[in-house]
């Protein structure tokens, strides 16, 4: 099923509002989800709506949260989300970080007590659109074996980065610290597809291609990914006074309770370090030089981070965004949710 960007946004917003979100919150969540599907990151788009709707309907998200923003220094702040929907709170945190970085050069904003916040690339791009450089990272519930270990300890713990150029291009780097994000496995499941044998292991610790036989994910690049996911857990969890590692709350175990997740935004104003115009021009030159390289066998060109997502968005603008039929049928139905997620394990089983 193919739908326009605007139709998809409205369908998701309507469903989330029916589940109990305020119009403002439903708008914020749908904006982030549409961003993901529009870029072809379907693991963080409409496939998530039913889960969010069930958690909202069962009281696991505060529908009228009282946000508390506190500046703890000239360039540091904390935003308590009061267990509000993560996308809305994380966006507010990034808005505050951009504002502070414009004034003081650098901003570090810790966002606490939120639910899942979706694709991090959305938030860092908001900063790049205002000529800022940004990093964002967040913790997640344990589903990854540590390098050399056999049982899940850390989450997929993603990191995103964005920087502006002097043209319409934005460098956007958004990655899980696993070989692949759990959402990609979820997307494969929704389509009845297998996964590469490098993504995950089964209960015996063996590589698996069965998307429904996943016991745990594995770190990207072995010990390097393991170190990165630990770093993210520390910076977006322990540093903010939140639970760490295996103590991070489950996404599915109890949908009636809040999750207490953390996210950290770091925004840098290039004007405090160099000439902004020259900086942006240099990054454009960098991308142009990469494009001039002869592509390796099997490649048509050298892409910069975020470029393929932009290309998919342009194609979707012409042809419509491709959505799994079952997900579309759910979005247009009168059902808020089908009671599928509460009480499930880390892989919604």
Q: Residue 187, CB half-sphere, CA atoms under 13 Å: how many?
A: 16
Q: Known catalytic residue: 42?
A: no
Residues 6+ apart with CB under 8 A from 178: 144, 156, 199, 217, 218, 219, 220, 225, 229
- In terms of Cβ atoms closer than 10 Å to its own Cβ (0-12, 13-18, 19+), residue 241 is exposed
Q: Distance between CA 160 and CA 174 in Å, rounded?
A: 4
Angle in degrees, 0-180, between the axes of helices 325-332 and 49-57, rounded to the nearest 10: 40
Residue 227: which residues within 8 A CB-CB, separation 6 or more?
A: none
Pull the structure tokens for residue 88: 């809305």
Q: Is the dihedral of CA 290, 294, 296, 301 positive or negative?
A: positive
Q: What is the DSSP letter of 207?
A: B
Q: Which of 38, 42, 116, 244 is catalytic?
A: 116
- As a whole number of angstroms, the distance between CA 90 and CA 51 comes to 19
The dihedrals phi and psi of 52, each to the nearest 5 degrees, come to -60, -45
CB half-sphere exposure, 319, CA atoms < 13 A: 11
Residues belonging to the active site: 116
């Amino acid at each position: 099923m193919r739908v326009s960007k605007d139709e998809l946004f409205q369908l998701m917003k309507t469903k989330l509002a029916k589940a109990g979100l305020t119009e403002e919150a439903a708008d914020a969540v749908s904006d982030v989800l549409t961003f993901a599907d529009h870029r072809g990151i379907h693991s963080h788009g409409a496939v998530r709506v039913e889960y969010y709707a069930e958690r909202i309907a069962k009281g696991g998200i505060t529908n009228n949260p009282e946000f508390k923003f506190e500046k703890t220094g000239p360039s540091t702040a904390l935003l308590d989300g009061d267990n509000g929907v993560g996308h809305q709170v994380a966006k507010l945190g990034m808005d505050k970080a951009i504002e502070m970085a414009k004034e003081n050069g650098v901003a570090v904003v810790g966002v606490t007590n939120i639910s899942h916040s979706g694709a991090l690339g959305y938030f860092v791009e908001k900063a790049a659109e205002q000529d800022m450089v940004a990093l964002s990272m967040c913790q997640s519930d344990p589903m990854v074996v540590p390098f050399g270990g056999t049982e899940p300890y850390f989450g997929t713990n993603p990191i995103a980065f964005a920087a502006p150029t002097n043209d319409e291009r934005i460098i956007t780097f958004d990655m899980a610290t696993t070989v692949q994000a759990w959402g990609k496995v979820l997307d494969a499941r929704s389509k009845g597809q297998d996964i590469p044998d490098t993504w995950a292991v089964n209960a015996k610790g063996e590589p698996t291609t069965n998307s429904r036989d996943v016991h745990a994910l594995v770190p990207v690049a072995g010990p390097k990914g393991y170190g990165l996911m630990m770093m993210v857990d520390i910076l977006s969890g322990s540093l903010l006074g939140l639970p760490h590692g295996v103590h991070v709350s489950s996404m599915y175990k109890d949908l009636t309770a809040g999750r207490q997740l953390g996210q950290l935004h770091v925004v840098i104003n290039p004007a405090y370090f160099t000439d902004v115009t020259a900086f942006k021009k240099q990054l454009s030159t960098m991308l142009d030089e990469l494009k001039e390289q002869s592509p390796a066998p099997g490649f048509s060109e050298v892409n910069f981070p975020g470029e393929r997502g932009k290309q998919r968005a342009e194609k979707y603008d012409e042809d419509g965004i491709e959505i799994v039929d079952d997900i579309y049928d759910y979005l247009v139905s009168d059902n808020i949710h089908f009671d599928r997620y509460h009480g499930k394990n880390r892989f919604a089983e």
